[in-house]
A and B are shown apart, each in its own frame.
Chain A
């Protein structure tokens, strides 16, 4: 009875919030979980549950796996809006339930915040848990990276015995933790020359077993001191350059075309293919279907603005940022770059990590016009100054910068690199100006 009341309250508040024009991504879950805290398990009891967690790539990987299942004709619920804290997940599931407390879906593909994973696993019976990577991110919230590893370890211990873990074989801390869990595991990774470059490796330098420096090559990492190494990796993607627009990878003996951009997404494609195989989708079918999945909002998202190409990228830690700078340096076309950096709790309140972003690399890249906006424009301008770069302009007002950049007479491609709340602001502006669809209807 309590459960039904919770579902009813969650659904009603969600409907109300939508009517008054909000996305309503977490409040209904807060209300529903307030009435029945153990709501999630019974609601998802008859639904194949897949959880995706990790520092980078979880939203994209979630979207790929959900997209694959949908293309196979399954009814899928997924928190595609990135509402990945406990109440956001309860909101997503409650919305999909009928008033009798039944979820009319074949599968639930849920992105879960790193520290929230144990709580969600404890309440549900996932068949698959995908772990993308563990990088430092928002240390003001997580304290230390090892805290995230401990949370994952706790979550794996709570998994049903028949559950399978899909994990990144290139991440030493993750590999050590997953091996120690004794869980059945399918490994994925990326064979990429540039993955050996230092910025990619800042978080993967030390052996998780003995603490010495690791060596990296196309088959992953290995420790010259104690022999700890990447496990055999059946789903290891090789990036194919200049094959066309989008990201192309060779993976498990096939070439996969995807609509995603950026080298960082190669690992997400590999993770999705590994997960698909575990969900009984034949690899050739999955490979073909992956080509049709669009990127999630704000993650290397392409938007046509008056016939001009704009890219929206969420960047929140040095690894993601450095990977994107690699892409920017590799392309040579003149580009306007808007850096929109805020420091609200959802962004991370501390900007220390900007000093681990290799802006110095942009000094060698010609044809860039840098514009800086957001609450921390001064810190960004300072970081750029010490990298030998001068922004064309900088100021706190993101709205004014967007007004100029989105409606400029310039026909140069526009790249918008944003922290979380800045990205939401850009999204809202695009929507108000009729330049992009409502993101929660996608």
Chain B
């Protein structure tokens, strides 16, 4: 049986928002297709084991935890990740994970910290948080026009440079509350502000990431269909839910 490796970066630091659900969703949907899955928790320090990873995930954390791993990410993870991404590694970054993948992060005091440089995006820290259910219309090849749902809670304002948005905002705030862009994608890398957790309620996106990982391994990316009735019902709740967006000062 084929084994795929899900690399969970900073699992001990960036874990406050149920984003573990993304790792669970990737694991289960691979297992249900008959693959074995190994979840590899990758912490601080040099990480040569990144070369074994088929799918990399970075979750959300609080400002404090993010500060504490920022330098480590830039020093020890950014270079290998940039190289692997050019070799089509599938990567999902949520919230802090999205910001780390970007080119730079500007702190409240105006200091600009270099980021991972994997997505051409700059995030400005902001004291006022965007909170609430979100609906995006996907621009991802193969998932164009489909809805992505989640819950956003971020003080960061992210502005995209030479990179495609993952979609456009239908409901919620998106990257910065101004330009309607929602997340970012390049090659097989996705950055997003959506919690929820994101992947369990968006099985098509989960399968997109899995398919990219299989392709890269030279395996058939055509996935056996699953019964997604429960997933669709939970997805549908957000589509039907009344608008409840908050600006949290």
**Which residues of A are in contact with B by a Cβ distance under 8 Å?**
136, 139-141, 143-146, 202-203, 205-206, 211, 213, 318, 349-356, 376, 378-379, 381-383, 385-386
CB contact list, B7-62 vs A, under 8 A: 12-13, 15-21, 24-25, 28, 62
Residue in contact with B195 in the complex, picked from A143, A213, A352, CB distance below 8 Å: A352
Residues of A within 8 A of B200 (CB): 355, 382-383, 386
Cα-based distance from A173 to B63 in the complex (angstroms): 14
* Nearest CB in chain A: distance from B232 CB, A: 9
Cα-based distance from A144 to B248 in the complex (angstroms): 11
* Nearest CB in chain A: distance from B10 CB, A: 11
Most buried by A among B13, B68, B234, B248: B234
* Nearest CB in chain A: distance from B46 CB, A: 17
CB contact list, B136-162 vs A, under 8 A: 151, 153, 155
19 A-B pairs in the complex with CB atoms less than 8 angstroms apart: A143-B248, A144-B63, A145-B16, A145-B62, A213-B12, A350-B133, A350-B195, A351-B18, A351-B151, A351-B196, A352-B18, A352-B151, A354-B21, A356-B20, A378-B234, A378-B237, A379-B201, A381-B234, A386-B28
Number of A-B contacts defined by CB within 8 Å: 94
Prevailing SS type, chain A contact patch? helix
Given contacts A143-B248, A379-B237, is CB(A386)–CB(B24) below 8 Å?
A: yes
What number of B residues sit within 8 Å (CB to CB) of A?
38
Residues of A within 8 A of B21 (CB): 352, 354-355, 383, 386
* Nearest CB in chain A: distance from B241 CB, A: 8
* Nearest CB in chain A: distance from B60 CB, A: 9
Does B246 interact with chain A (Cβ within 8 Å)? Answer: yes
Cα-based distance from A145 to B65 in the complex (angstroms): 11
Contact call B201/A382, Cβ cutoff below 8 A:
yes
Cα-based distance from A110 to B200 in the complex (angstroms): 41
* Nearest CB in chain A: distance from B145 CB, A: 23
Residues of B within 8 A of A205 (CB): 12-13
Residue in contact with B233 in the complex, picked from A211, A352, A378, CB distance below 8 Å: A378
Does B1 interact with chain A (Cβ within 8 Å)? Answer: no
Most buried by A among B18, B151, B197, B237: B18
Residues of B within 8 A of A349 (CB): 132-133, 244
Beyond the given pairs A352-B18, A355-B200, A378-B233, 12 more chain A to chain B contacts, judged by CB atoms under 8 angstroms and listed by A's residue number, are A136-B16, A143-B129, A143-B248, A144-B62, A146-B63, A211-B68, A350-B195, A352-B196, A381-B234, A382-B200, A382-B201, A386-B25
Does B79 interact with chain A (Cβ within 8 Å)? Answer: no
Does B224 interact with chain A (Cβ within 8 Å)? Answer: no
Given contacts A352-B195, A385-B230, is CB(A139)–CB(B244) below 8 Å?
A: no
